[in-house]
Structure formats: C-alpha cells, structure tokens
C-alpha cells in the first residue's frame, strides 16, 4: 500500500475467514443482504480453536441455517484487501465446495441474510464482489471435475 506524502495511512486490520460454495444439483446458495444491497457467499471469521474447514461449515450453517453439509473439495486461499470504516482490511480467505446432504437439517438463519438458490450463471451475475465471483468460478471447475459433468456457466475468458 503506497502512501502519498502528508497523508496518514489507514490503520490495518488483518483477519482470516472461511466460507463455502454450497451446491445442490445445478444450483448454489447465495445470501442476499438487503440492508447493504449485496449478494454474497457465506463466510466468516475462523475462531482460534477451529480449522478453516470447521469454520467454513459453522459459518455456512449460522448464516444460511443449513447444517446438513459435507465438504467436496478445498477451493484454496486468496487474500482480499479493501478499505472499510476507516481501516485498511487484509483478509485471508479459505473456501470449500460443499454439498447439501440433508435438507431437513435446518436451523435459524441470521436475520441479516436471505438464502437463495440460483444457477451458476445467476450467481456470477448477482454476487456483489469480484473476489466471491472468483470463488464461484473455482467451485464450478471443482464441481465439474467432481461430478464428471460440466455445469451451465462457463468462466469468462
């Protein structure tokens, strides 16, 4: 991060998060957050006693109400940087491809989110942040390899 002379840099906040791209057939889960006018994937902080995979399953469950999930693939890690509320945030993100295995295993959904099932292409079109659209592209490739069949949307060239 370069700083112009005479400009005070923002304080830096670093944290690690984990989330999931949840598939059910040819649809995947997105979360609408109308209070912020955004559509995103479920994710959240990794607690000190958790692995990234454990945190991802917990965060997806808390934010979507879906607990009947299994991890199909590790989608990797990426670092996202952005300015938010007077801080420069550096977030290391881990994501996992997950499948819905038990639709009846549901809990409460966090009030701020409305879960929606959309197609791969709808997810890419709707998701508010490019970093999360990249997770959908990675998940799409992993799901096609896992299932042995291509999914409907093709990653942009």
Nearest-angstrom CA–CA distance, 48 and 8 = 32
Q: How far lies 63's CA from each of 30, 39, 109, 114, 141, in Å? A: 10, 13, 6, 9, 25
Query: In this model, does residue 149 exceed pLDDT 70?
Result: no
Q: Are 17 and 45 spatial neighbours (Cβ–Cβ below 8 Å)?
A: yes
Residues 147, 149: Cα–Cα separation, whole Å: 5
Q: Is the pLDDT of residue 151 over 90?
A: no
Q: pTM of the full predicted structure?
A: 0.84
Q: Is the pLDDT confidence value at 112 over 90?
A: no
């Amino acid at each position: 991060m370069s700083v112009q002379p005479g400009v005070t840099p923002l304080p830096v906040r670093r944290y690690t998060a984990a989330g999931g791209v949840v598939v059910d057939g040819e649809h995947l889960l997105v979360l609408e957050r109308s209070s912020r006018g955004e559509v995103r994937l479920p994710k959240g902080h990794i607690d000190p006693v958790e692995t990234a995979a454990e945190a991802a399953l917990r965060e997806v469950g808390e934010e979507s109400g879906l607990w009947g999930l299994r991890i199909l693939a590790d989608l990797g890690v990426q670092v996202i940087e952005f300015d938010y509320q007077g801080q420069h945030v550096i977030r290391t993100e881990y994501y996992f491809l997950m499948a819905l295995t038990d639709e009846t295993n549901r809990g409460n959904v966090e009030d701020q989110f409305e879960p929606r099932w959309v197609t791969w292409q709808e997810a890419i079109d709707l998701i508010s942040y490019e970093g999360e659209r990249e997770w959908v592209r990675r998940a799409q490739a992993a799901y096609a390899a896992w299932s042995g069949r291509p999914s409907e949307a093709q990653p942009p060239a």
